[in-house]
Amino acid sequence: MMTNTLRKAALAGLLGATALAALPAQAQDGKKFKIYLSLSYSGNAWQSEAANIVKALAATPPYNDMVELTEVISGTDPQAQISAYESMIDEGADGIVSFPISSTALNRTIKRGCDEGVLFFMYDATVTESCAYNVSYLSSGFGENTAQALVNELGGKGKIFLSRGVPGNSVDQRHTDGAMHVFSQYPGIEVVSEYYSYWDDRTTQQETAKALAAHPDVDGIWAQAGEYGAIQAMLDAGDKLVPMTGENSAGFRLALADPDMQAKGLAGVSAGSPPAQAGYAFKIMMEILTGKRELEPMNIEYPLPWVPADTVKVCEGDAYTDGCNVFPPEKVPTSFVSEVLSPELLPEVNVESALNGTPVEGATIQPLPADILEAGNEPGINCGRCEAPDDLYKLTKIEATVQP
């Protein structure tokens, strides 16, 4: 079978590179692009919304006539995702947009796919294989910025929980490394419990409840996704809340701005991972495949959302307009991840797209902005033999109001 690389090279020789770039997808190979959506860990709102956005975009004109999209969920075993990648390559994939379970274990298979002309686009989580494109907000500093926000709230001292994500995943590791870089500077901050919550509200609630049984006097919680479950665990244990960090769930974001919750002790910031990264990765990949963009494999940074309590604004419609950043409870479940939409990058989709994977009636795919922000080197996260910058954990969203 002629690989994608050989096929494109042959066409370029016959038509010239400029003419090839101008050809529509159907004219290049007479069939739809074979795109795979490869998830590793699934089962929470974040993963569902990220996948649904890709599905909605693939069903939006003109991609609906260009793309054959297949979703594959592998689970948390790296070998299972390796096997899935191998099958996709063997079946003639043009592109694989994926949430990878490991930053290193998949590299050999990814390299094999790249050599056969497959485009690999990773979203949120990253790999160190240099032929893959990593679209992630990791280098924008969730861990260190949220940790400093919590330290500021606690005045530099107190007992805290660390509610982590999926063990072995580059996202969780980078977040925790950044957070511990900050916490370790403050002798008054004591991590009394650390647990994996798999970025899921229910699991977070269960694990936080266990931690509270041993440490009811906790002063703060540093949480990744699933943070609303930590609130529920504390409310189940009594009428007290503590300063918390968390990601972008509607429940947490609305709670931060709720005077009743604030009166119980809740304070903090909503930041963290946007599921919109999946749609952004898919659109960049499609622009490359259809000849609308030339881009070598690189690490691409997605901006870090940052929504303190006093900037929460409830939306009235089904899109982010007029600066709103969360939907009301009658519109979405508490687990809904608010940063799934992007008016600038993903104007084609709305709430229903994120919830159900359905395209917006009358929408068409819009071009992405010309400029793409390159992410910095993160050894072991998005690059292998590379050096980290001296200011790897610099604060970009907040300043220290308490000195170490």
Residue 169: which of 76, 79, 74 has the closest Cα?
Answer: 76
Q: Please report the pLDDT score of residue 245 as a whole number.
A: 95
Question: Alpha-carbon distance 238 to 240, whole Å?
Answer: 6
Whether the per-residue pLDDT at 385 is higher than 50: the answer is yes
Residue 374 lies in a domain: no
CATH of the domain at 159: 3.40.50.2300
> Could you tell me which residues are beta bridge partners of residue 37?
71, 97
The chain-wide mean pLDDT, for the chain, equals: 91
Q: Report strand pairing: 268-271 vs 119-123.
A: unpaired
Q: Do 122 and 86 share a structural domain?
A: yes
Q: Please report the pLDDT score of residue 27 as a whole number.
A: 36
Q: Do 279 and 130 share a structural domain?
A: yes
Residue 96: which of 65, 127, 138, 75 has the closest Cα?
Answer: 127
Whether the per-residue pLDDT at 321 is higher than 90: the answer is no
Q: Do 191 and 117 share a structural domain?
A: no
Share of the chain above pLDDT 90, in %: 81
Q: Do 84 and 204 share a structural domain?
A: no
Amino acid identity, position 67:
V
Mean pLDDT confidence for 244-270:
96
Residue 14: which of 26, 6, 2 has the closest Cα?
Answer: 6
- pLDDT-based confidence at 29, cuts 50/70/90? low
CB proximity list for 128: less than 8 A, separation 6 or greater: 103, 104, 107, 380, 381, 382, 383, 384
Q: Do 96 and 49 share a structural domain?
A: yes
Residue 313 lies in a domain: no
Mean pLDDT confidence for 218-233:
96
Total domains present in the chain: 2
Phi, psi at 244, each rounded to 5°: -140, 150
Residue 400 lies in a domain: no
Domain extent at residue 254: 142-271
- pLDDT-based confidence at 34, cuts 50/70/90? very high
Question: Alpha-carbon distance 116 to 96, whole Å?
Answer: 13
Residue 335 lies in a domain: no
Q: Do 36 and 75 share a structural domain?
A: yes
Residue 124 lies in a domain: yes
Q: Please report the pLDDT score of residue 31 as a whole number.
A: 86
Q: Please report the pLDDT score of residue 363 as a whole number.
A: 97
Residue with tokens 């009636």: 361
Q: Do 303 and 210 share a structural domain?
A: no
Q: Do 103 and 126 share a structural domain?
A: yes
Q: Please report the pLDDT score of residue 319 as a whole number.
A: 81
pLDDT digits (tens, 9 = 90+) for 69-108: 999 999 889 999 999 999 999 999 999 999 999 999 999 9
